[in-house]
Structure formats: C-alpha cells, structure tokens
C-alpha cells in the first residue's frame, strides 16, 4: 500500500470518528432538551394543563415551562428563540434558567419578564439574538389569568360555547431587544370549560404545498371543534391537522403549544416547588 493511500485511509478514519462523536453529542443535547421540556407537569384537580414541543431540527429553540407557586397560582411561560438548531437550543437553556430564577423571586408575570430581560440582555446582545416570551399566572381561586408579553403572540382562548374570548392587548419588547424594560400586565377572568391555547408561530406560519400559511383563523376553527375534549386529545388533533395541511412538507420552524383547560370553577394546584410568595 502506498504512503498516500495509507494517509487517505487514516484521514477518513479520523473524520468518521469525529462525525460519530459529534452525532453522539447532538443526540445527548437532544435528550437533555427533551428531559427539560418534558419534565413533571403540575396536577390540577378539576382542570388540565399540558405542553408539547416539536423541533424543526433534531434540537430546537422553543421553550415552555410550568412553575406552581406556593401562593396557589400556576406560572406558565412559553418562548421562541431566534434561530434554530444547536445555537437556539443553547439560548433556550439560558432562557429556562432565567425564568426559573425569576419565578422564585417575582410577584407576577410582568416582574418575571422584567427580571428575565435584565438577566439575559447582555448575553443576547453579544450573540445578536432575542427571545419572544409570553408569561402568565393562573389563579384558580379567583379564576383569573394574569399575563405579560415580550414580543410574543397572545394565546387563543375558546369558551365552552365555542366562542373566542378576546384578550386585552399587552405589548412588550422581546427579551434582548432593549435594556431596562418594565413589562406591564393584563388579566382576564376564565370560566368553566374555557380552553387557553398558548403557542409559538411555528404553528400558524406552517406552509402547505401551495405556499399558503396555516394562519390563526384555521387554528381558531379547529380549537372550537375540540374545546370539549381533554388537553391530550386537543394536542394530538392540532398536530394531526398541521400534518394534513402541510402534506408531508419538511417542518420549517419549531412547533410548541401549551394548553390550560378549566373544568370546574375552582382548580387546586398541587405544587412541587417552593418559591417565594
């Protein structure tokens, strides 16, 4: 065997080893992300909450989380990091850490987003990135959903009567957009049978073979037809409808949804965290 051929074989072996190592590391990152996104969900008596995220690539940049508070409320967050793949996934981990830290020490969704922006702003600017985030507190005693918004879409709320519940608009700059932001809050009273559907734009911006987008109008009509179902059935049906709409086209963006279903007038939350009141 010539020296040249032997060197080529050795070079190929080195590249193959590196590729296998990279593949293992990417799969490890996927497993870590999956574990964080699919952790323990809070149990709601007479109510349901759930979330699911489907990355466009092996790993993604969407994020959702639940944080039961010691005052009986449930804090919910959903976020969409600019970009895809490993860089977005790394920023998603930073966002999760900022939320968990803020959730322990802030009184409401607005304070939470304010604290998150303060914590993330410098890093996001260095990386020329940003994160859109919607944060909400569900109060089962008052039946009130308080919320704040950092450049994200507002949720769709469908009543048991299959009518859309209009939310007071609240706007805020995406995290990493501007320093020293103070995020405002709004609230809405929810009734028995209401469905709160919080999502990232990978759902409504999904495209079919004709170049048409899924759009929020189609989502609303689907949710109206599903409002009496449980949250798992609704999740499955939304994913099925998206697949039927796109007709097998490759997914272009991460798809993430969080659902809150109010089954009774009072909902007791079993907390597994002990943050400050």
pLDDT at 33 over 80: no
Please report the DSSP string for 60-73 in residue order.
Answer: -SEEEEEEE-TTS-
- Residue 277: pLDDT band by 50, 70, 90 thresholds? very low
Q: What is the mean pLDDT of the chain?
A: 86
pLDDT at 24 over 80: no
Per-residue pLDDT reduced to its tens digit, 210-269: 999 999 999 999 999 999 999 999 999 999 999 999 998 988 899 999 999 998 544 555
Of the listed ranges 8-17, 86-95, 154-163, 175-184, the least confidently predicted one is 8-17
Which is higher by pLDDT, 72 or 147?
A: 147
Which two structure tokens, joined as six digits, stand for 260?
Answer: 């809150």
- CB-based contact 96:60 (threshold 8 Å): no
Residues 6+ apart with CB under 8 A from 130: 81, 82, 124, 151, 174, 175, 176, 177
Q: Where are the domains of the chain?
A: 1-37, 38-270
Paired sense of beta strands 186-189 and 164-165, if any: unpaired
Quote the pTM value.
Answer: 0.85
Which is higher by pLDDT, 122 or 90?
A: 122
Where would I find the beta strands (DSSP E) of 182-224? Answer: 186-189, 195-199
Check residue 52 and give its pLDDT.
93
- CB-based contact 197:155 (threshold 8 Å): yes
- Residue 270: pLDDT band by 50, 70, 90 thresholds? low
Q: For domain 38-270, which CATH number applies: 3.60.21.10, 3.40.630.30, 3.60.40.10, 3.30.365.10? A: 3.60.40.10
In the block, which residue shows the tokens 């449930």?
74
Per-residue pLDDT reduced to its tens digit, 106-137: 999 999 999 999 999 999 999 899 999 999 99
User: Cα(231)–Cα(237) distance, rounded to whole angstroms?
Assistant: 10
Q: How far is CA 219 from CA 166, 239, 245, in A?
A: 15, 11, 11
User: Cα(150)–Cα(136) distance, rounded to whole angstroms?
Assistant: 12
User: Beta-carbon neighbour count of residue 58 at 10 Å?
Assistant: 14
- Residue 86: pLDDT band by 50, 70, 90 thresholds? confident
- CB-based contact 134:150 (threshold 8 Å): yes
User: Cα(158)–Cα(227) distance, rounded to whole angstroms?
Assistant: 7
First CA to last CA across the chain, in angstroms?
74
Check residue 37 and give its pLDDT.
65
User: Cα(38)–Cα(267) distance, rounded to whole angstroms?
Assistant: 22
Check residue 57 and give its pLDDT.
76
- Residue 89: pLDDT band by 50, 70, 90 thresholds? confident
């Amino acid at each position: 065997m010539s020296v040249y051929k032997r060197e080529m074989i050795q070079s190929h072996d080195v590249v193959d080893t590196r590729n296998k190592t990279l593949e293992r590391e990417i799969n490890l990152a996927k497993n870590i992300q999956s574990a964080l996104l699919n952790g323990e969900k809070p149990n709601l008596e007479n109510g349901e909450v759930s979330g699911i995220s489907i990355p466009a690539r092996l790993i993604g940049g969407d994020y959702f989380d639940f944080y039961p508070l010691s005052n009986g409320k449930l804090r919910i967050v959903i976020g969409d990091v600019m970009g895809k793949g490993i860089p977005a996934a790394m920023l998603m981990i930073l966002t999760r850490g900022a939320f968990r830290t803020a959730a322990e020490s802030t009184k409401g969704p607005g304070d939470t987003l304010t604290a998150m922006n303060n914590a993330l702003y410098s890093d996001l600017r260095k990386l020329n990135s940003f994160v859109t985030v919607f944060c909400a507190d569900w109060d089962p005693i008052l039946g009130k959903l308080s919320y704040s918004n950092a450049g994200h879409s507002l949720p769709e709320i469908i009543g048991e009567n299959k009518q859309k519940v209009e939310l007071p608009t609240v706007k805020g700059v995406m995290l990493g957009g501007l320093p020293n932001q103070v995020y405002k809050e709004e609230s809405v009273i929810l009734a028995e049978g209401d469905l709160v559907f919080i999502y990232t734009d990978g759902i409504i911006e999904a495209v079919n073979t004709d170049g048409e987008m899924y759009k929020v109008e189609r989502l609303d009509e689907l949710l109206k037809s599903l409002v009496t179902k449980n949250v798992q059935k609704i999740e499955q049906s939304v994913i099925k409808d998206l697949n039927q709409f796109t007709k097998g086209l490759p997914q272009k963006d991460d798809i993430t949804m969080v659902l809150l279903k109010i089954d009774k007038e009072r909902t007791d939350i079993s907390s597994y965290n002990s943050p400050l009141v």
